[in-house]
Chains A and B, each alone.
Chain A
Amino acid sequence: MTPTFIEQGMLLAAVLFCLGLAGLLIRRNIIFMLLSVEIMLNAAGLAFILGGARWGSADGQAMFIFILAMAAAEVSVGLALILKIFQKYKTLDTDEINRMNG
């Protein structure tokens, strides 16, 4: 019974990761792109938790905590950059701000 759950949970993690990737590719609003990155990180965390649950060890949850810390740091810097971009260019469309030295 348990391995079936793990398999299906891994499938769920893959689906969520693909949804995040699709969101990253189809959206042009930079906030949505950051959200999609969050979805992908979360799917990776789910995969770690499932692995930990499969073997009954705590390593999966430890890795999840590291992913959480990384996601928090990434979001804080990313949102600060987004606010700065919006102040400077008055838009959040990445097609408008695709030059580094604009």
Chain B
Amino acid sequence: MEAVFYLSSLIAITATALAITRLHAVHALLFLIVSLLALAILFFVIGAPFAAALEVIIYAGAIMVLFVFAIMMLNLGKQAMEWERRLLSPRIWVLPAILTLVLFAELAYLIAIRRGGAWSEFEPVLPAEVGALLFGPYLLGVEMAAFLLMAGLVGAYHIGRREKKQLHRYLKEEEQ
């Protein structure tokens, strides 16, 4: 349990430090995902399984995929194929893969010792309690978060929309 805690912390710090110093955005994203997975293990160890699942699904899944999409959209060009080929060379993915394997070993270890009995000093706070709290005292906060997400959606749509090219009013209006 202690070993898992410290190892995950170490991986999180290493991966984050590597992420902010990479020159290529996709490499940085790879390391950032490793860092998020390490934090998810950490959450799991300190008794927050629901937060750990959300960290993997939403942070490492949805938000990082959004970043990848944006970077891919910025890179549409002739050299895209060449770039893709370089991306697949082992030198780039081998370090994140090793870190992720260590995390996977930690997870397997946690599951293995779970069968024996208690595996953490922390009493896990289960999703049911979180849900009861969210839809009880924090209901207003949940609704405000919903407003925020709606505003984010509308704002992103509005900003990302292609503008109509306005010609003179006597000329024919053209769609771009």
Contact = CB atoms under 8 A, between A and B. Distances in A.
A97 interface: no
B51 A42 contact: no
A57 B122 CA distance: 11
B106 to A, nearest CB: 15
Given A31-B25, A46-B42, A73 B149 contact: yes
* Size category, B interface: 35 or more
Given A12-B13, A53-B46, A58 B67 contact: no
Contact residue range for chain A?
A: 35 or more
B79 to A, nearest CB: 15
Interface string A64-102: 111011111111110111111010000010000000000
Interface string B1-16: 0000110010011001
A19 B20 contact: yes
A65 B134 contact: yes
Interface stretch (B88-96, B97-105, B155-163): B155-163
Given A56-B125, A62-B130, A79-B70, A74 B152 contact: yes
Nearest to B159: A80
Given A9-B46, A42-B36, A64-B54, 6 more contacts: A9-B9, A34-B67, A39-B35, A53-B46, A56-B125, A57-B125
Interface of B: 5-6, 9, 12-13, 16-17, 19-20, 25, 28-29, 32, 35-36, 39, 42-43, 46-48, 50-51, 54, 58-59, 62-63, 66-67, 70-71, 73-74, 121-123, 125, 129-130, 132-134, 138, 141, 145, 148-149, 151-153, 155-157, 159-160
Interface of A: 1-2, 5, 8-9, 12, 15-16, 19-20, 22-23, 26-27, 29, 31-32, 34-36, 38-39, 42, 45-46, 49-50, 52-53, 56-62, 64-66, 68-77, 79-84, 86, 92
